[in-house]
Structure 1
Amino acid sequence: MEQDTLSIFQKIAPDIMGTIKERYLLLRHISDAEPVGRRTLAGLSGLSERVVRSHVDVLRRSGLVRFTTMGISMEPEGKALMPDLLECFLRLNNLDDMQRQIRQALGLKNVYIVPGDSDTDKTACEELGRKGALLLNDLLGSVSIVAISGGSTMAEIARMLPESNAGATILPARGSMGNHVEFQANYIAAAVAAKTHSSYRMIHLPEGVSESALRLMFESDAQARENVAMTSQAQVVVFGIGRADKMAKQRGMTDHQRQTLETLGARGESLGCYCSLDGRILYGSNNIGISLKDIKHHPHVIAVAGGASKAEAIVAVMRTCRTGILVTDEGAAEKMMKMI
């Protein structure tokens, strides 16, 4: 009945729906950046300063925000209202139905879609991280081993994760890759451990080296062998998803190797596996740790990725995965709907 009412309101008063959307997004920005000035809010939201002033005046009179000498901040009532506002916002944007259809089409436990397109919207990137962090936080305390992959989205999850006393063991899902230390799985695992007052282990094995070199390093490092063995026992695995072409280049594959993957139809990559749109693993990079091949052995699986440019990659990886939870954004979801 509630959804029907919202649908009716959308038809007879679309201008009101636009106002609600703008005020929700302003509250989201205020919550993220408080205290924040009106000019900064205008820049973050893309709204004019006049429109921002009008909206925040209403929000202040409603007791949701307050004005201070430092800028605009959230009132306790506004903070408490944010989860309900997000739920309402999702309904207003017709995301509920997309969540259901994508979940059924990909055979997943659940799908969560946050507003926006993280290709172009920084707030959508933050919402992806926030939702992933909340899902992980809900599991902490009831599990003992968590594995997390690398990437900018995983780093955002670590940043958004609330402090707790989980006391778990946090592990990198796989070895290190790339030149950005802050995006490497080892670094992110340590950040999650710090936020949750947990211990952490590291896997100091580089991604993408030859099989013989990897075997030699692995056999000579007892600590690495112990930590890798522990990843197979992880009750929670959190990972991101990349485009196959970009990840192949990032991993330093030769032009011939990249062309071969393209010819085979590789569209998505995750946990070292390159996947086709129909959910086949076409190639697995040499590395130690968790792979999509055995992801079903882990009780709780959370994939987080967004942006319209990653829609094909997400479909490819999640058709391979066929388990767990997907957190994505509106931009990716809309493109995925056309594909599935």
Structure 2
Amino acid sequence: MTTDVQDLYLITLVAKQYYYENRTQDEISRSLGLSRTKIGRMLKQSRDLGLVTIRINLNPSELSDLEQELKRRFGLQRALIALDHDDENSQRRSVAQLVCDNLAEILTDGATVAVGMGRNLSEVTMHLGGPKGRDCLFVSSIGGSLRAGEGLNSDHIARRFAASFNGRSETLYAPAHVGAPHLRELLLADETVRQTLNRARRADVALIGIGDCSESSYLVKMGWFTTPEIAGARMKGTVADVSGYDFLDIDGNPSAPELQGRVIGLSHEDFRHIPNVIAVASERSKTLSLLASLRSGIINTLATSAGIVRAIIEIDEARPRRQG
């Protein structure tokens, strides 16, 4: 349902009076000549529309304990842990906000950021706020896909980051996925593609999404892989994909070699050489995927929810990693 300009103005006015001016719903009702029920409904709309974001911090002690345990187990630099939400969209927003805060803290003039694709990274750009005055370069680390849609493609995400940080963006002028390995090799030999990927490889920070390699994943929806291909990979123990490129088993070892060689972007090994790889995932279905990625050793910063972190620790405790 769309909201017209007049309704949006009124919803914003009600939210401002309630949250900023600390007026009660009864006071707002009387001043605007609206029922208290309608005022309550508008306040809910203000949250649903993203005009108001309510943030509740975890108990600092609990947050610190979870982060320290992740650092101990997986050698992380940082863990950005959000409060749990039942609603998937709310959870994604909560995690994204933490990533925004972290980027504002760590990015400096001249930094290069390799940017992946997907819903979680796209959500981060929705919470960046006004320009931050950093001359950063945001480079696409994976090609583009028509089926992904504008909002989820790496180049569009990179542009939105660049606009917020008063920086620059660089697009990887290649498709994200091709039908056969020999086509990929031909495109990787192109000078423009090679230069952009080399710049991404030299990044100071990388932002990546982690996939659950399920039959309902975006890899299937975008037509990169068929349902039987993904189902077959899962039957052989594959639980994660890193930026749609590399596949991992539960122990973090390379998996599903039959699916390799079709995506144009940074590889699993490329990420190992980037000083700070930030993995962003908010969906509970990605718990095993995140565990696999953590065990692989390529992640330096993890951004997810408290519930997922607890589950990762419990599973890692119950099933220690077996070296590949």
Q: TM-score, normalised by structure 1?
A: 0.71
Alignment of 1:90-109 (within 5 A): 90-91=58-59, 94-109=62-77
The one-letter code of the counterpart of 1:309 is S
Deviation, structure 1 residue 174? 1.1
Mapping for residues 258-269 of structure 1, pairs under 5 Å: 258-269=230-241
Q: What secondary structure is seen at the aligned counterpart in 1 of 2:148?
A: coil
Tell me, yes or no, if the aligned pair for 2:173 and 2:192 is still in contact at 8 Å. no
Q: Which residue of 1 aligns with 2:118?
A: 151
Residue 35 of structure 1 deviates from its aligned partner by 3.4
Given candidates 221, 232, 246, the residue that maps to 1:273 is 246
Which residue identity is paired with 1:217? L
| Equivalence for 1:214 | 184
> Counterpart of 1:165?
133
Indicate the residue corresponding to 1:10 in structure 2: none
The answer to whether structure 1 residue 242 and structure 2 residue 218 are counterparts is no
Identity %: 19
Alpha-carbon distance in structure 2 between the residues aligned to 1:274 and 1:260: 13
Q: Which amino acid in the other structure matches residue 249 of structure 1?
A: V
| Unaligned segments of structure 2, at least 5 residues | 1-10, 33-38, 44-52, 317-324
> TM-score under structure 2 normalisation?
0.74
Hey, what does 1:44 align to over in structure 2?
Answer: none
1:308 matched to which residue of 2?
Answer: 284
Kindly provide the amino acid, as one letter, of the partner of residue 204 in structure 2: Q
Alignment partner, residue 135 of structure 1:
102
1:35 aligns with 2:12: yes
Conserved in 1, the CA contact under 8 Å of 2:121 and 2:208? yes
Number of equivalent positions: 276
Aligned counterparts of 2:90 and 2:229: Cα–Cα separation in 1:
36
Asked if the contact 2:239/2:292 (under 8 Å) is kept, the reply is yes
CA distance in structure 2 between the aligned counterparts of 1:322 and 1:171, rounded to whole angstroms: 19
Alignment-derived partner of residue 288 in structure 1: 264
Provide the C-alpha distance between the structure 1 equivalents of 2:125 and 2:294, rounded to a whole number of angstroms. Answer: 22
- 1:248 & 1:156 partners in 2: Cα distance? 19
Q: For the residues of structure 2 that align with 1:36 and 1:308, how far apart are their CA atoms? A: 36
Asked whether the equivalents of residues 118 and 209 of structure 2 are also in contact (C-alpha less than 8 Å), the reply is yes
Backbone CA RMSD of aligned residues: 3.3
Tell me the secondary structure at the aligned position of residue 282 of structure 1. Answer: coil
- The aligned runs of 1:314-333 (5 Å cut-off) are 314-333=290-309
Cα deviation, 1:26-83, whole Å, max 9, x if unaligned, reads: xxxxxxxx83747xx9xxxxxxxxxxxxxx79x938xxxx9796988xxxxxxxxx99
Match of 1:183 among 137, 144, 152: 152
C-alpha deviation, 1:248, in angstroms? 4.2
Distance 2:188 2:202 in 1: 19
The equivalent position to 2:80 in structure 1, one of 112, 133, 141, is: 112
CA distance in 2, matches of 1:92, 1:141: 27
Aligned pairs for 1:63-78 within 5 A: none
Higher helix residue share: 1
